[in-house]
Structure 1
Amino acid sequence: MELQNASLQNVLHLAKQLTPIEKVQLIEKIVPDLEAHLEVIDTSRTSPKLPLRSVYGLCADLGPAPSAKDIDEIKMGDDSNG
C-alpha cells in the first residue's frame, strides 16, 4: 500500500468511503493508540500544580459551634412541633 499525504482531510475522505463494519474496525484499531496517549496526559494531571491548603479553621469566623445540649434541645423542640 502506498502511503500518501496523510492529512486529516484525506483520511476523513477515505474513511467516509468505508462500510460501517470497516469504520468500526478502523475505530477498534485507533482506540488503543488514543488510550495510551490519554494515559500519559492523565498521569501528568494527577500532580497538583499548587500546594494544597489546609481547611483547618475554615469556619472560624462563624463563631463557636452549638453544644450537644443545644442540639438536643432543638431536636426535642422539633419533635413536639411535628
Structure 2
Amino acid sequence: MEAIALEQQILASIRTLPVQQQHEVLNFARFLHQKAANKPPRRSLKGLCADLKIQITAADIDEARQEMWGTFPREIV
C-alpha cells in the first residue's frame, strides 16, 4: 500500500471518531513515536562478549550440551 493512500485511510478513519477518541489516537501515535525514538540500538551477543576474549569452539558447545542433556530421557513411556 502506498504511504499516501495509507495516510488518507488513517485520516478518514480518525475523522469519523468523536473528539475524545481522536485525542486518544493522537496520544497513542505520540507514544509510538517516543517508543521508537528511545529504543537503543541492539548489539549482538557476539559483540557484547567480544571484549571478554573468550574462545568457544563447537566441541565446547557439544560437550556442554552432552552435560546438560546427557541424562535426559529420549523416549517417554
- TM-score, scaled to structure 2: 0.37
Instruction: For CA contacts below 8 A with separation 6 or more, give which structure has more relative contact order.
Output: 2
The structure in which a higher percent of residues are helix is 2
Largest Rg, 1 or 2:
1
TM value normalised by structure 1? 0.36
